[in-house]
Each structure stands twice: as structure tokens, then as C-alpha cells.
Chain A
Amino acid sequence: MASAGGRLALRGIRPPTKLPTLSPSRQLPVRICANPSSVPSARYTSTTTSQPPNESTEHETQSSVDPAEIRHFDGLASSWWDPYGTSRLLHLMNPLRHTFISRCRATSAKSASSAPSGQLRYLDVGCGGGIFAESAARLPGTASVTGVDPSPAVLAVARAHARRDPVLLEPGRLEYRNAAVEQLARPEGPGQQYDVVSLFEVLEHVSYPAPFLQSVMPHVKPGGWLVLSTIARTWTSWLTTKVVAEEVVRMVPRGTHDWSKYVNESELRAWFAKQPGWDNSQTMGVVYVPGMGWSEVRGGEGFGNYFFGVQKSIS
């Protein structure tokens, strides 16, 4: 399979053939604007995720999800909740996700709130083993959390782990769906939409971000937020996430990331500026310092991990 060859090249830690530039005036990214059907990309995989029988209610549609990515995360499922295992960095990052969401929501607190009751509905896309979904479901200000992930093995871990906490088993508090976001029913009104739709560490695993984001956006309630975290495509991120994290320190399993899939903050901001009905974008750059954990770094979005949030207009 051609796509496997592309990944192998990166596994050999060969430097990227085309140099990324830190300049914000970089040309518009090809990938994010590309219409997938018109690009004969070696990496493009059009697939229909096979559904387990009990998930037959989900729509059978095209998914943005690369099956190789699903296989990779299936393999990581067992260690997902080991705080000293391969997901440690995600566990440590989790509190910052709540910090960022609170910060985003605070910018619009004075205007009409998306949730007058104060009880938020969350949709966590690419929820994995449920690190964020569980934590959101425990917060007192949460009405419900829906986690979706296309990897059946990872979702089985999420469901099994939630059984350890009676609070999460309260009816309606936390629900998992084994699906890609494209397979969710298109919401028919604000009652079916969410106050917070999150894509944490997901975008860098998606082959075609633009159509993927477009399939996520309808799920956000007017006044609600789409929040994500991902990694900028820079020399620094290539060095830290591919070479140091995967090859030298082996902190992250080899093959977790495909550097060429990374999306820059400037690209996201420019893309959302063109989407009607979306504004108030927020950014927070973060850096992992061994021994100290994650911390916010002003301008960090220019070279590594960052959070990005954008609000759907109320109109």
C-alpha cells in the first residue's frame, strides 16, 4: 500500500523534504484547502468504517479517518490509562484543556451564553480512552458528554474505564459512540447541538483537515465553541515530536505522529476567517518541560503544541 510507504519514510526520521518556514506569511497550505476527491494523493484513503452490529444506528458515510491511524491507536489501547505509560503526556495536558475552554468561554461570558442554565453539553471528537471526556463529565457545570472515536479497541477501553467511577455511570452523564464524526446524524436544531465540541490531539491524525472540520462544525451550538489542540508543522515540532519523543526518549510510541499532517495555527486562523458565522478565535501555545509538565508559553503556537478555539456566531 502506497500510504504505508509514505509513513515508513517518516519512521526512518528522514528530514522533511520541503522545509517548513516559521514565517506567518507562508503560502496557504495545500492540504487544508484541498478538496480530497480532486487530489490524487498517495496518502488519501477513502474508507467506510465497518460498524459493529450494535452501532448500526450511525450513518454509513465516508470517513476522514485513515485506517492505519485506527490500527495504531488500537495497539495503544491497553496502556491508555497507565499514568506512567505512553499516554502520560496526554494525561498531564488534560487540566490545560479545561483551562483553555474556560478562557474561551470567558471571552463571551458578557454576551448571550450558549447555555443559560450553565450546564454544558460536550461533544469530544476522537475521545480515545476518555481522558478528557471523563474529566468533563465529572465537572459540576456539565450536563452531558458524548465521546466519539473510530477505534473500537480504544473505545472499549474508554467504556471499561468509565465503569470504575459510579458518577460517570449516572444516566445521561457520559456516552460513547464508536464512530467517525461524519457518521453522526446531522443536528436538526440547537437541542441536538453542543456548547463545546472538542478535537484534542486529533487534527494531526486527519488526512484532510478542511472537510473534516466542516463535518464537525454543524455540531456546535450557536454561541458555542469549537476547541482543539494540535501541533504546529515546524522544524521544532519535527525535532521534538518525531525525533526526540518517538526515537530518542521513546516517550511516545513510534509512528504516533505523521509530521506532514500537522497544521499551523496561522493556517487554522486564516481558514476560519473565511468561514461564515465563525469568529472570536483564541490561541494558547503550550510547551512540555520534562520534570515540570505542560505550561503556557506566549507565542508557543508558532513552534509546537497549541490550543485553538473559535466561536460560532449566535445569529
Chain B
Amino acid sequence: MQRRVPARLSCSFHRTPRHGASRRGFASEATSASTPGPEPELYDVVCVGGGPAGLSLLTGLRSSPATSHLKMALIDGLDLDKGKMRNPSPESYSNRCSSLTPASVSYLKEIGAWRHIHTERVQPYQEMQVWDGVTASRISFDSNPSHMSTIATMVENPNITTALLTRLTSLSPSTAIFSPSRVASIALGASTPKLDLSSWPVVTLADGRRLAARLLVGADGANSPVRTFAGIESRGWDYDAVGVVATLKLEGLGRGGGGHKVAYQRFLPSGPIAMLPLPGDMATLVWSTTRKRSTILKGLGTGSGFAHMVNAGFRLEAVDIEYLHQVAGEKGVAAEAEIADEVAWRETHTRWDESKVPMRVVGVQNSSIASFPLRMRHADTYTGERVALVGDAAHTIHPLAGQGLNQGQGDAAALAHTIARAVEQGQDIGSLLALEPYTSERYLANNAMLGVVDKLHKLYRVQSGPLVPLRSWGLSAVDSFGWVKGWLIGRAAGI
């Protein structure tokens, strides 16, 4: 029997799980909520969220012969068409960039999206310099040990989403795109003598349109409403840290010229500072630091003060950097000249190998400085009855290894393959059993990556004590063993 729940509840995302997330739907008498309204339109796949993971999943399904016939819909709160990259200026880059692993790139090629990428705006890099900011112990990765020419490729996120959207909308049958369109509620469907939708999630949009999903995909970010609807818990913690990003102009093409690009990452006690190459003399910054320091850095604006701070971040001692933040915190933009003098004077008293740090920053792109909170989250499972989670809805990772977007691409590829296999075997693609291989394929791999990155973050925040010499020894030891480095590069490359 259907039990009606109060209208108040049917308008919220939450549905109380009775038997844990993975068993939802089997106690339907207690959990089904029949929402009044027009008959919902039936879809095989409804994806909430048009970010790289959601778009990649739908494009993957549409371009595979086994699943191209599925009836699919995409819902996003933003105007996806308006967000497309159009006639981008070669002088200006988005501050939201990702380091795509070769595995992610080959998946984007496989599903036909890569040919729509503005390739003049992507930058592969062949070398990585990583060092400890306290002990200066260093590890350098270059592509030779594993015979790869490219470690990873820097791409602006809007470049990826634009390419995926262009590819998706060029494929037939067409995918229904509801954008900009807000999800008002998600509830289970109704059972009528004709058809029993009591296990089907029904998404009601703000304008009253209703979509019933054989499989509802949550690609809707860290605060995923789909995950909440499915009653899947997400656990983790917030770091007392934020990531500061900016688009930088350097004094030249880089130490290896235009043909050999290097990514740099230095572990400071306040968090890692990373500079990743973009085409020409451009680069992107990801500086993970404390909340307080991020406010100070952002307070400098795009003037020379910020550039000096970044240059110091890759060269000076931790105590110098701390002092510079003090000065900047007290005087803000007015401190520009003082910071310049301080950096110049302190550099004369510091030793470093200029050939192993990034070229100097000479400019910061207007309004490119932004920050985001750093979090570690992992959902208890990626699937429920007629629900699957991909990307940040399933896991949020510290950006220090640049794996967030790649994990989402890995999820999308694995889920698309799982669905294709289910279709070929005549399974209901929304059934828990059909979705089982997706969770088992992705969960442990993602969990391991989340754990390693989390431990690295904690390890390098330590400034003194027995851990410090130990981690330096570890880094130097790894540096001298080619095969270990090869393995690490392989992990980072997702192969």
C-alpha cells in the first residue's frame, strides 16, 4: 500500500533510510512518497549536475553502441550554454584548471569529446619537481622512467565542459537538457494499477516538470541533493585550510622552454604551493594554506605584492614567508613596496637552486585570484536502488595531487561501462545488482587515493620532530629508486 507522507516532506530531499543506503527501496511501504502533480516523463537516465563527471557519463553512454539508444536527461542549475567557452582570448586563462591524467585524456578521446577541445589552450607537462619546504629534500619526476612523454595535461575546466557539451549535443538521439533548471524535490514515484513507479525516483523541477528515472545519477557536487535523497551518508572532515588559485604570467616560457614543461610543488608547513604550466608564459597557481593566510593573500589583489609572495613561496624559508604574511596582513595592498624590499633582502641570505624552482611571476591576471575550502569526504557507497553517484557527490579530495577531476572521469567511465554491460545482459540498469560492479570497481581505488593524499597533507604540515627527517629521507629514498618513482607516476597518471 502507498503511504502518503506529509506534503512538507515530499518537498524536501530527505527520505529516512530504514535499512541503510544500500538496501533502500525494499521497504517500499514505508518509504514511498507519491507526489501529486502531472504524470512524470519516463527516462532511462536522469543526471543531476552538468559538470565534467556528469557530462562525461552522458557523453560516454551516448557514444557507446550498447547504450546510445537510452532516453536521457541532464539537469543543471546553471545555464550550461551560457557557460560555454566562446572565442577565448589567448592572453587570458580560467583560474579553474585541472591536471588531466593520460587515462582521463584517453577516455575523453574514446567518447569523442577531445576533438572539440581548444587544444591551443592545453599544456602537457613532462616533468614534476616536488620538494620539502622545511628540509629542502627533493624528488623529481620526469617522464623517462616509464617511457611516457607526458605526465599529465593542464586543461581549463570550462574547456573540458564545453567540449563535452558540444560532443553530447551533436549526438543523436538528443539528450533532454534542462538548464538553467533548479531541482525542487526528489521523491519516489507512485504505484498505479498500470505501472509501479514506487522504486523510481521522480525529480520535480522548479517549473513543475517531473522526470521519473530508471537510474538517477548524482553528479551534483559535494553537497549532492541526490545523495541526500538516497540516504547515503558522506563522511570526512574539513581541513583548516583553503586553496588559493590564480592565473599567473611568468618571465618566460619556463626552464625547459616551450617544449619541455615542468610542474612544481613545494610542501610548506602551511600547506603545499603548486605551480602548473599553461601555454606560453602563463601558469596556474594552487596554494593550499590556512584560512587566515588566504585572506591576507587575497587582500593583496592582483598587484605586484601577490607576485612577490608567490615567488617567495617557492624560494624562501618558512620563517621568512611567515614574516611576509605578517607585513601583508598589517598593511594590505599598501605593503607592496615593503614586501618587494623584504623579499629582495631575504633572498640574498637564502640558498636555493634557481634551476629547480619555477620562473618568476611577473603578473597576475585580473580578477583571477579565488579560494575554495579544502575538504575530504567519502560517501559510504556510490549506489542505491536506482541511484548512482559520480565525482564530487561521491568523494571530495584534497587538491594537492590534482586527482579530483580525474577521479570523476574514472567514475564516469566505470559507470558507463557498467551500464553498457547491464544493457547487454538485459538487466534493469537501475537495479542494485546491475550497479554493483560500479561500486566495487571504483570504491577501493578512490578510497586509497583519498587516504594517501590525506596522509601526505598531514605529513607535510609537521614543522619539527621525528617526522621531519623521516619524510625527507623518504623523499630522497624514493628519488633514488627509479622503479618506485615510475610506480608513483603511474598512479598519478591513472594507469
Interface footprint category on B: 20 to 34
A91 adjacent to B426 (CB under 8 Å)? no
B400-432: which have CB < 8 Å to A? 423, 425-428, 431-432
A190-225: which have CB < 8 Å to B? none
- Per-residue contact bits, chain A 72-103, to B (CB 8 Å; 1 contact, 0 not): 00000000001110000001101100100000
A91 adjacent to B433 (CB under 8 Å)? yes
B196 adjacent to A160 (CB under 8 Å)? yes
B426 adjacent to A139 (CB under 8 Å)? yes
Nearest 9 pairs of A and B residues by beta carbon = A135-B426, A163-B196, A138-B426, A83-B433, A95-B425, A139-B426, A164-B196, A83-B432, A91-B433
B428 adjacent to A138 (CB under 8 Å)? yes
Known: A163-B195, A164-B196, A164-B199. A136 touches B433 (CB 8 A): no
Query: In the complex, what residue of chain A is closest to B436 when comparing beta carbons?
Result: A83
A166 adjacent to B195 (CB under 8 Å)? yes
Q: Say how far A112's CB is from chain B's closest CB, in angstroms.
A: 26
Give A84 to B33 CA distance when docked, in angstroms. Answer: 24
B197, B199, B200, B425 — most chain A CB neighbours (10 Å): B425
Query: In the complex, what residue of chain B is closest to A162 when comparing beta carbons?
Result: B196
Cβ–Cβ < 8 Å partners of A82 in chain B: 26
- Per-residue contact bits, chain A 30-63, to B (CB 8 Å; 1 contact, 0 not): 0000000000000000000000000000000000
Interface footprint category on A: 20 to 34
Given contacts A83-B436, A135-B426, A164-B200, 11 further A-B contacts (CB under 8 A): A83-B431, A134-B426, A135-B427, A136-B426, A138-B423, A138-B427, A160-B196, A163-B194, A164-B198, A164-B199, A169-B195
Say yes or no for A137: interface residue by CB 8 A criterion.
yes
Say yes or no for B331: interface residue by CB 8 A criterion.
no
Say yes or no for B105: interface residue by CB 8 A criterion.
no
Query: In the complex, what residue of chain B is closest to A136 when comparing beta carbons?
Result: B426
Give A139 to B428 CA distance when docked, in angstroms. Answer: 11
Interface of B is mostly: loop
Cβ–Cβ < 8 Å partners of B196 in chain A: 160, 163-164
Q: Say how far A315's CB is from chain B's closest CB, in angstroms.
A: 32
Give A94 to B191 CA distance when docked, in angstroms. Answer: 27
Interchain residue pairs with CB less than 8 A apart (28): A82-B26, A83-B431, A83-B432, A91-B433, A94-B425, A94-B427, A95-B425, A95-B427, A98-B425, A134-B426, A134-B428, A135-B426, A138-B426, A138-B427, A138-B428, A160-B196, A163-B191, A163-B195, A163-B196, A164-B196, A164-B197, A164-B198, A164-B199, A164-B200, A165-B214, A165-B428, A166-B195, A169-B194
Cβ–Cβ < 8 Å partners of A95 in chain B: 425, 427
Say yes or no for B23: interface residue by CB 8 A criterion.
yes
Say yes or no for B335: interface residue by CB 8 A criterion.
no
A117-168: which have CB < 8 Å to B? 134-139, 160, 163-166
Give A183 to B185 CA distance when docked, in angstroms. Answer: 50
B184-236: which have CB < 8 Å to A? 191, 194-200, 214
Cβ–Cβ < 8 Å partners of B199 in chain A: 164
Cβ–Cβ < 8 Å partners of A91 in chain B: 433
Query: In the complex, what residue of chain B is closest to A138 when comparing beta carbons?
Result: B426
Give A137 to B426 CA distance when docked, in angstroms. Answer: 7
Known: A83-B432, A166-B195. A135 touches B425 (CB 8 A): yes
Query: In the complex, what residue of chain A is closest to B433 when comparing beta carbons?
Result: A83
Cβ–Cβ < 8 Å partners of A94 in chain B: 425, 427
Give A84 to B433 CA distance when docked, in angstroms. Answer: 9
Cβ–Cβ < 8 Å partners of A169 in chain B: 194-195
Give A88 to B427 CA distance when docked, in angstroms. Answer: 14
Say yes or no for B42: interface residue by CB 8 A criterion.
yes
